Amino acid sequence: MKISKLETKRLILKGLELSDAESYEKNFADYEVIRFLSDQVPWPYPEGGAVDFIKAVVLPKQGVTRWSWGIFLKDHPDEVIGCIDLWRDGRPENRGFWLAKRFWGQGLMTEAVEVVNSYAFEELGFERLVFSNAVGNERSRRVKEKTHAVLLSQRPAGFVDPQFTEAETWELTAETWWAHHRPSFIGNYKDMMDPDDHPLTPHDGKPSNHEW
Ligand SMILES: CC(C)(COP(=O)(O)OP(=O)(O)OC[C@H]1O[C@@H](n2cnc3c(N)ncnc32)[C@H](O)[C@@H]1OP(=O)(O)O)[C@@H](O)C(=O)NCCC(=O)NCCS
């Protein structure tokens, strides 16, 4: 199912498609990116791994229980330079993200997270989001801190880089998010919807029905 396109000052977030697989893999298959991820992610990353991931994991659930956006720069809109995903059933987390290393440290993921958080609470009806990162993944941790998540706990966990042995669990409630962001982000992303996307309804605390 098609998912809404979201925009920020510098980025366009578009639902991942098979045609994105080549640039996805080119940017993702980098140990500096993958080493921070769960040890469920294969390393060395297999050739064609992105096609398999998009076909088997993303597309069957896209817009139903999963929302996987490719991240594109507005001034270079043909290449996926990262990804941000939400999923309904927490394990315990509901979100993942990565960005090609050459773009780190410019605030780009924080920008993507802000619009996706707003969309999750406003349109998808999440009441809380749970996030996770390796203890020692300071960049990921910082993105969460900057976007008002609250650290809950630590637990043992395996990552591609075996030097990471524990995960932090974070929570962000809709209430906390809207205390910081309402109403500016609602307007920001509503104005940027594709004309062929379903119309957005005013926020009434309930999920709108187009993803259900
Ligand atoms: C995590 C990741 C998505 C962050 O993307 P990004 O666009 O660089 O993030 P931002 O620029 O929005 O924010 C990064 C923050 O970390 C800070 N930072 C950078 N290096 C740091 C370090 N070594 N220690 C502490 N903070 C650091 C930056 O200064 C920035 O914070 P600031 O705005 O307060 O200065 C990116 O580093 C990445 O893809 N990493 C590999 C994959 C990964 O870890 N995914 C998440 C798994 S939970």
Ligand 1 within 6 A of CB of 165: no
- Classified by CATH at the fold level, domain 6-192 comes out as Aminopeptidase (3.40.630)
Domain chopping of the chain, boundaries:
6-192
Which of 34, 36, 43, 139 to mutate to test ligand 1, by most ligand atoms within 8 A of the CB atom? 139
CA distance 71 to 160: 23
The pLDDT of residue 206: 35
Does position 136 have pLDDT exceeding 80, yes or no? Answer: yes
> Whole-angstrom distance between the N-terminal and C-terminal Cα of the chain?
11
pLDDT in tens, 39-62: 999 999 999 999 999 999 999 999
Cβ(109)–Cβ(134) under 8 Å? no
Average of per-residue pLDDT across 158-174: 98
| Cβ(165)–Cβ(157) below 8 Å | yes
CA 33 from centroid of its chain's CA atoms:
15
pLDDT for res 201: 34
Contact 62, 211 (CB under 8 A): no
Q: What is the pTM of this model?
A: 0.90
